[in-house]
Structure 1
Amino acid sequence: MAGNRYLFEEAIQKANDSVWAEAWEPAISSYRRALAEFPDDVSAMMGCAWALLNNKNLSEAIVVYRRLTELSPTDPGPYERLAEIMERTGEPDYAAGFYLGAAQRYGDQKLASKRTSALEAAVRLRPNNIRPWNELLKIYQSQRDINKATLAALWLVYLNQTTNRERAIEICRDAETFSPHEPSIGQALMLMQSNRTIPQPPPIGSEARLPEVADLMPDDGGEGSPVEIARQRALTKLAESIFSDDRPPVKGMQSMEVGLLIGQAVDAQTRGDLVKALKSYEVLLNAGISMPSIHFNIGLLYKEQMQFDNAIVQLERSLSDPEYVLGSHYSLGQCYQAKGEFREAASHFLEAVKIVDIATIEREHVDDLIRVYEGLAQNLMNTGEAERAKKVSESLVEFLGQRGWGDAAMRARGRLDELARSGAVLSLVELVSLPNSEKILRSIALAQEYQRRGMLYSALEEIMNTLSEVPDYLPLHHLLATLLWENNDADAAIQKLHIIARTYEVRNQPPQALATFQYILQLAPLDIPVHRRVAEMLIQFGRIDDALAQYMQISDAYYQLAQPERAREVYSEAMRLAPRGSAERNWEVRILHHMADLDLQRLDWQLAIKDNEEILRISPDDERAYLTLYRLYPRTGRMHLGINILDSLIKRYLTQNKVGNALTVLEDLVKSEPESIPLRARIAQLYLNLGRRESALEHLDVLGDLQLEAGQKDAAVKTIEAILALDPSNREAYADLYREMTNTEPPPPRQK
């Protein structure tokens, strides 16, 4: 509905004057008056948003800019402003998304420079996003900017190397064509072709240099066991410390003397004179020198001389340094293994493999993988089976002791991730602990290839043959269940998955059990007992928000099963848990709305009223609850309460200076109830209060007719008086009606 153009222009002029004077509060007020006349005017809304932003009213500015993205979807400006605000308020994910939105629109408008800046801002905030890097690479190459193009190419290689190595190699080759003399690209290609990885490149816009060849080379070079790699690293560190100040001060010993002892120890250890090396290290320890590199080296020397208790003490002191943590755990495992303490040995070997495994998995799955290893360690400690611990230790020593163990870990991780697509995150340690693990990996790969080609019987046969060798490896059973499902044997698939989940629980591996139960629900979403078990496990893990979401799914399942009473019982259970959920998720209100909807469908008006009254007690601004009560009270014979609750909502909006919300509510209600006298009276009065004469007259005219039809003569007379006071263009017609109804002369029009 069109507003008053004169009032609008007047408010805009005042707003512009205030903006010129940088008087932001008056500017905001003037823009709001203008928007009350024409709520969707883009220029007024732009000005209001800008004033709010300068006045640091960021939350309100966000609302206005979001509305602008709807009203002017091709304009990049609101997207860029939203991105800047989100960045300032610590929301990098949202900021990056809005920068991408701005970049797309700048591109549509052929504004290349602004598009590039927006893309760079997006990857600065969230560098692990492939799409903007792809676009930036094309831009930089078109600009012949070798440094920036190289950086973009390296980021794309880094992001693709674990999930799409062929694409990473293709990027390297394309980049080599563009800049054939860039050494970092050639090195990255070599690493990709040898199935290795590159480290994370520097961020865009930083002063960091591009990676040199040495930066791209893995620390271990793929050679030797973790202990050999860590030993060499420790010797290098100690040798470097001789000529630097990178040594802790020692009372009673000069720096030169400390350097001499370190040099003697390193030289002796390098030459294989372990006795002399040990004596030099012991002198340093007795003098109070504590360096992780010394503790690690002396621990190794004690181990090689079979002084395992002394070795354990020193190796535990080197665990705190990330450079030696892998080698220290491996060596500690060897010490405990030599002492016959197989559970302790297995625990340290488990930690060593965990470190390797975490380095191979995608970041988003790291927390899940850590929980898997925690469960495995707990299970190993609880069983007390020395023979099992011994076998686990031997398998892990064999795996970490082989040449190229890093590459083997990467290959295994790729297969495990394929195997885990529909289930829990899988650990490397469970696989390498199996006999003939390489053969099992090949069998899994073959079965998955059969599966991709639709050769399900061949895939089933391959998996069954492998299971005959390793019947306890549950991921294979999970793959078998998936194949059964694809072969339309749904009952057998779900039955097997139930067995897998319960077995994980018996083995004290709750993360895998939970993931399996959740996979069952993907296949059988109405399985109530599984829903219940998932909710229980989520509560045990402290994942209350996820548990509450699960309760909502349980209620929905009951509703689909035509059991609304049970659905409501579950909502009641969820309400008892809701106070433990995240405050920002507003769980109590969300659950009560679902309960109210359910009660409405069951035609239980009283319960639905109770639900919505409780919502308003918790969340007094909930418009949906107000309007539901407005409709429900009359159904229970309490018409006056319906109007009262509507008045409360309108009053609340007006008190909060949300006139637009109040008008929207009343306009929507009038559209659905055009013959409602109370609604017409309220919207007419609100328009009168806002000075919107034409809108007020429109509703007053209808109101008078409705009152006359209802026999409300006195009320109709008052309505006609209100119309006459506004001096409408057809005033004489209303004046005649007034004389006819009252036998008196009408009142004069209100002075303008």
Structure 2
Amino acid sequence: MAGNRQRFEQALQRANELIWENKWPDAVDAYRKALLEFPEDSAALTGYAWALFNAGDLQAAAEIYERLLTLLPKDPGSRERLGEILAQQGQREAAADRYVEAAALYQAQRLPERHITALENAVRLNPRLDRAWAELLKRYQEQGLLDKALRATLWLAHLYQAEHLHWAIEVCRQMQRFAPNNRLLSHTMLLLQSGRPVPIPPSTSDLQGDAFLSDEEVEPEPVSDAGSVTEIARQRALESLAESIFDEERPETPGLSSEEVSLLIGQAVDAQTRGDLETALSAYERLAAAGVTLPSIYFNLGLLYKEQMRFDDAIAQLERSLADPEFMLGSHFALGECYQAKGDFEAALNHFLEAIKVIDLTTVQRDHVDDLIRVYEGLAQNLVNTGEPERVESLVNSLVGFLGQRGWEEEVLKARKRLDSLARSGTVLSLAEILSLPGSENVLHSVALAQEYMRRKKTYAALEELSYAIGKAPYYLPLHTILAQLHIESGNLEGAIEKMRLIAQVYEMRGQIPQALATYQQILELSPLDFTIYTRIIEIFIQRGQIDDALGYYLELADAYYQLAQPERAQETYAEALRLAPRGTADKRWNIRILHRMADLAIQRLDWKNAIKYYQDITRLAPDDERAHLGLMRLYPRIGRPQLAISALDQLLKHYLTTQRGEKAAVILEDLVHEQPESIPLRFRAAQLYLNMGDRQKALEHLDVLGDLQLEAGQQEEAVKTLEAIIALKPANLSAYVSLRDQLIGRSK
């Protein structure tokens, strides 16, 4: 028997609200009420299981997830959550099996990152899953993750050796194609081929680490820094120095001959390449003392001082190489390491942030560069303002680990791709900030899955993944922004706006103003008549000296007031903007634009006098403003002063004629004559203008009509003058005009 749909929906909505508020026990009760109506509803069961899990009732949550395996056989999320619960209960192998099942479903759904994460969770719980390791090895090799691929290879060799020795040898041989010179891999091959046991590889808790062999078997291979930021810059410096030996345009050195400089550079490069650092250092010091000014010498000398722990000397040299764009990145990184070693984490952080900024700027679109620079400025200022040395030290360590790893360039591109998918339209996120998060890789994986669920309209599944990510990184605000988006998609617009308002305020407190502004602007997209948001945006722009942006929002705010039938507030807003206008960019003519808006508003309110006042102000500031002059022409008759209308027109015509723009004046007059064809003053001015311009035919056309209008109006004397002007132009029917003139003169006598 079907349940009551209304009671079900009400209970579900209440449960949803309680989840937003993190009131998990109450959410459990609400879900139970919903399930009384429809016990097999999968969405309600998913939410119920998640609420039980967060309320701490793991056993009950596990039972519900078991039910969901039947109801939702293609849902990997239920299997992952069940695996997490089983792991917490100590059932590691059963948990691993659930993760393997989830991985297969993720693969079918073409979600490769989640597929890998699920497999990694499986082997972390049960490292003897050879099929999971084999799949991971394939994925790692495809993505170029050599360290992880090596780990998978070693585990497979260990697992295969007893029953499938030839498999173990083959998997190692295939891995050697990717890492042909790896000592650990070569030693493992020797062990397998000689029938000696391969020891258990290292812990799988983080799927990272150093060597896996015990000290009794073989000494671990040190992690090479080839490809790290420092190594790339060092190699570039060596190449530059080698090329300089043959540079005939090298600057003169007072203390050494050109041959001596070349000899010392050759000695330094050779010694440093061979690892003879003392000889290299001595040669570089002689070159620097003699006044050889090559950034590559400063950089290498700084690196050598750093390796000898002479950090002050290293800093002095690296600051000299910092000015050269070719060594900017490496110098910032090495300077950060020096300050880190000295315990000055704030100075270290500044240099590491500059280093990651240099890298990050190469990954974003050109129109986002300025925004990203401001993001880094706000991030650095926020870290200084918070006064949290632990956070600064943590971020320093994260940046060192990231930039010091092999293959960091590839990781940068991957991270940027994920950040861009996380960023809202029109905003840009910094690489440094995501690197500062503990478990950033897992956080981004969960976010990607949450976004995928949102695209598929699976709100509860998206909320579950997003809650997991926020639990891992509660202070990373972009996650909360996605939560606000989830509010919007679930119809809770008010909750979304309030959430985004809080996000913007936190960004402000952190000094991350571009993100705060972007969030406020997103609120306006949802609530375009929110006056408090307009006001705050204007205040921020004024504080930052972005006056043009502030004035633009003043105009939008005035429009919002007008839409809500509050013309007085709109007028006040325009007045405030007008007071600020002198600080804006002169080319944008803000005062003219605002006065036009004020005149338009006055006209709509039938306030002719104020509209005239605003137009008069405009004509004083911009004598060529056609719209203002024409506005005055149309408004003066409405206040009983029609004579001033023609005066306003004359001012505009005079300005055009004195600036050699007679054609523009003609266009205006023709338009006006078209609107008022029987206007004697307009016809007179049109004829006069064409006479001045030498256009005889056009002048005759207007004079002919002007004469008729004057006769109809009883202006006989003026008509005679017009006829004389026509006769002076010698039209084709001259005798007719002469006869008419004579008749008019005869009548007047």
TM-score (norm 1): 0.65
Contact 1:474 1:500 in 2 (8 A): yes
Cα separation, 2, equivalents of 1:735 and 1:242: 99
Q: 2:386 aligns with which of 383, 386, 389?
A: 383
Contact 1:222 1:404 in 2 (8 A): no
Are residues 739 and 490 of structure 1, via their aligned partners in 2, closer, same or farther at CA, if it must alter by over 3 Å? same
Shift of 1:708: 4.8
User: Which residue number corresponds to residue 44 of structure 1?
Assistant: none
Cα separation, 2, equivalents of 1:614 and 1:233: 64
Cα separation, 1, equivalents of 2:144 and 2:596: 54
Contact 2:707 2:722 in 1 (8 A): yes
- Aligned letter for 2:393? K
- Aligned letter for 1:436? G
User: Which residue number corresponds to residue 476 of structure 1?
Assistant: 479
Contact 1:422 1:519 in 2 (8 A): no
2:317 is the counterpart of 1:343 = no
2:409 is the counterpart of 1:406 = yes
Cα separation, 2, equivalents of 1:667 and 1:710: 22
Cα separation, 2, equivalents of 1:433 and 1:342: 14
2:687 is the counterpart of 1:678 = no
Cα separation, 2, equivalents of 1:345 and 1:688: 79
Q: 1:263 aligns with which of 258, 261, 266?
A: 266
- Aligned letter for 2:496? A
Are residues 417 and 493 of structure 1, via their aligned partners in 2, closer, same or farther at CA, if it must alter by over 3 Å? same
2:641 is the counterpart of 1:638 = yes
Which residues of structure 1 form unaligned runs of 5+? 1-192, 197-220, 747-752
User: Which residue number corresponds to residue 514 of structure 1?
Assistant: 517
Q: Which structure has the greater CA radius of gyration?
A: 2
2:238 is the counterpart of 1:235 = yes
- Aligned letter for 2:461? S
Are residues 662 and 320 of structure 1, via their aligned partners in 2, closer, same or farther at CA, if it must alter by over 3 Å? closer
Contact 2:336 2:351 in 1 (8 A): yes
2:582 is the counterpart of 1:579 = yes
Deviations 1:126-148 (A, max 9, x none): xxxxxxxxxxxxxxxxxxxxxxx
2:316 is the counterpart of 1:313 = yes
Q: CA RMSD in A?
A: 3.1
Are residues 344 and 705 of structure 1, via their aligned partners in 2, closer, same or farther at CA, if it must alter by over 3 Å? same
Cα separation, 1, equivalents of 2:521 and 2:254: 61
Aligned to 1:257, the other structure's residue is in SS state helix
Contact 1:498 1:517 in 2 (8 A): yes
- Aligned letter for 1:650? L
Shift of 1:280: 3.2
User: Which residue number corresponds to residue 398 of structure 2?
Assistant: 395
Cα separation, 1, equivalents of 2:144 and 2:529: 44
Which residues of structure 2 form unaligned runs of 5+? 1-141, 146-223
Shift of 1:501: 0.9
Cα separation, 2, equivalents of 1:371 and 1:667: 53
2:366 is the counterpart of 1:363 = yes
Cα separation, 2, equivalents of 1:560 and 1:435: 48
Cα separation, 1, equivalents of 2:286 and 2:728: 105
Contact 1:315 1:332 in 2 (8 A): yes
- Aligned letter for 1:346? L
Cα separation, 2, equivalents of 1:376 and 1:691: 68
- Aligned letter for 2:294? M
Shift of 1:429: 0.2
Cα separation, 2, equivalents of 1:718 and 1:293: 90
User: Which residue number corresponds to residue 663 of structure 1?
Assistant: 666
Aligned residues: 530
- Aligned letter for 2:364? I
Shift of 1:677: 2.8
Are residues 591 and 195 of structure 1, via their aligned partners in 2, closer, same or farther at CA, if it must alter by over 3 Å? farther
Shift of 1:474: 0.8
TM-score (norm 2): 0.65
Contact 2:599 2:615 in 1 (8 A): yes
Contact 1:623 1:649 in 2 (8 A): yes
- Aligned letter for 2:512? Q
Shift of 1:337: 1.8
Deviations 1:258-293 (A, max 9, x none): 333333333333333333333333333333434322
Contact 2:255 2:291 in 1 (8 A): no
2:497 is the counterpart of 1:498 = no
User: Which residue number corresponds to residue 421 of structure 2?
Assistant: 418
Shift of 1:680: 2.9
Cα separation, 1, equivalents of 2:363 and 2:144: 12
Moved more, 270-279 or 702-711: 702-711
Are residues 686 and 472 of structure 1, via their aligned partners in 2, closer, same or farther at CA, if it must alter by over 3 Å? same
Q: What are the within-5 Å matches in structure 2 for residues 157-236 of structure 1?
A: 224-236=227-239
Shift of 1:593: 1.2
Deviations 1:232-255 (A, max 9, x none): 222233333344447554434333
Cα separation, 1, equivalents of 2:291 and 2:744: 109
Are residues 685 and 255 of structure 1, via their aligned partners in 2, closer, same or farther at CA, if it must alter by over 3 Å? closer
Shift of 1:505: 0.6
Are residues 457 and 701 of structure 1, via their aligned partners in 2, closer, same or farther at CA, if it must alter by over 3 Å? farther
Contact 2:608 2:638 in 1 (8 A): yes
User: Which residue number corresponds to residue 165 of structure 2?
Assistant: none
Shift of 1:408: 0.7
Are residues 239 and 688 of structure 1, via their aligned partners in 2, closer, same or farther at CA, if it must alter by over 3 Å? closer
Cα separation, 2, equivalents of 1:252 and 1:227: 31
Shift of 1:524: 2.1
Q: 2:531 aligns with which of 525, 528, 533?
A: 528
2:331 is the counterpart of 1:333 = no
* Percent of residue pairs identical: 61
Contact 2:684 2:703 in 1 (8 A): yes
